Copies of this chain bind each other. A is one copy, B any other.
């Protein structure tokens, strides 16, 4: 009887989700790891609202199932949600019950990125995008460096670069340093008025500060003195994170995020020498964790069936 009942259960499927400050990506896979469907939705950073985050997860999951030709009743979803800000929320577990998942676990986007980059082997990542964070895994220990949010942390990030650039625009405006091409370009965006920057700043979020990063990168490429100084200073912070992870025994590092390629040439030779390409991304990392959970469930199921 137990065995017959077991065979009628809907199939276990795996869902990995990477939910960041600008978008939420999801992938559905079978327990062997074969991709069944993908989905994309809006921001899912928990710090900016748990409901918005969970609704993005829901939307991305709907897309996955549609692409896989499955309904929620056809499968039992074992999900791992890697959400930016997940390490700061105490209310995740109780809210998770509203999601149509058989099992759900949460982790941070940085940890999932690390597991994905090194296929669950020892290694570390440094994310350089709107924010910045380092994560390392070595000898069954996990380490975090930075990533506590702008302006008290996230050194070397796009938000931090944008803020430091505006500081220098105002220094030039006040006659403390000479104007450069970068500073003039940025000042023009604000109608060449210090007050324009102040007004903008009153509602600016980290991603707004980070929106200035491409101009900094571009001017650094052309040799702009201030842009190069900003990139070097950002890279020095990333070097510090890399040095720390190395000292903790993390054997290899991957640099990921929207600014990774731009900052690479400014990193120390030692950091550059430690870098390896990422094998996978945070969705892969989340799927690894979902697979481990599913294996555990199947083991428990077979024990119960025995």
Instruction: Report A's interface with B, CB cutoff 8 A.
Output: 47, 87-88, 144-146, 148-149, 151-153, 155, 163, 166-167, 170, 174-176, 194-195, 197-199, 201-202, 240, 244, 248
Knowing A152-B166, A152-B167, A152-B170 are in contact, say whether A198-B88 is a contact too (CB < 8 A): yes
CB <8 Å contact, A176 and B244: yes
CB distance from A82 to the nearest CB of B (A): 17
Knowing A199-B88, A201-B152 are in contact, say whether A146-B174 is a contact too (CB < 8 A): yes
Q: Residue of B at shortest CB range from A248?
A: B175
Q: Residue of B at shortest CB range from A149?
A: B198
Q: Residue of B at shortest CB range from A174?
A: B145
CB distance from A202 to the nearest CB of B (A): 7
CB <8 Å contact, A244 and B175: yes
Q: Residue of B at shortest CB range from A155?
A: B167
CB <8 Å contact, A163 and B151: yes
Name the contact of A152 in the complex, choosing from B144, B153, B155, B163 (C-beta under 8 A).
B163
CB distance from A55 to the nearest CB of B (A): 20
- Chain B residues closer than 8 Å to A195, beta-carbon distance: 87-88
Docked Cα-Cα span, A244 to B177, in Å, equals: 10
- Chain B residues closer than 8 Å to A155, beta-carbon distance: 167
> Can you list 25 pairs linking A and B with CB atoms under 8 Å apart?
A47-B198, A47-B202, A88-B195, A88-B198, A88-B199, A144-B174, A145-B175, A145-B176, A146-B170, A146-B174, A148-B170, A148-B194, A148-B198, A151-B163, A152-B163, A152-B166, A152-B170, A152-B197, A153-B167, A153-B170, A155-B167, A175-B244, A175-B248, A176-B240, A176-B244
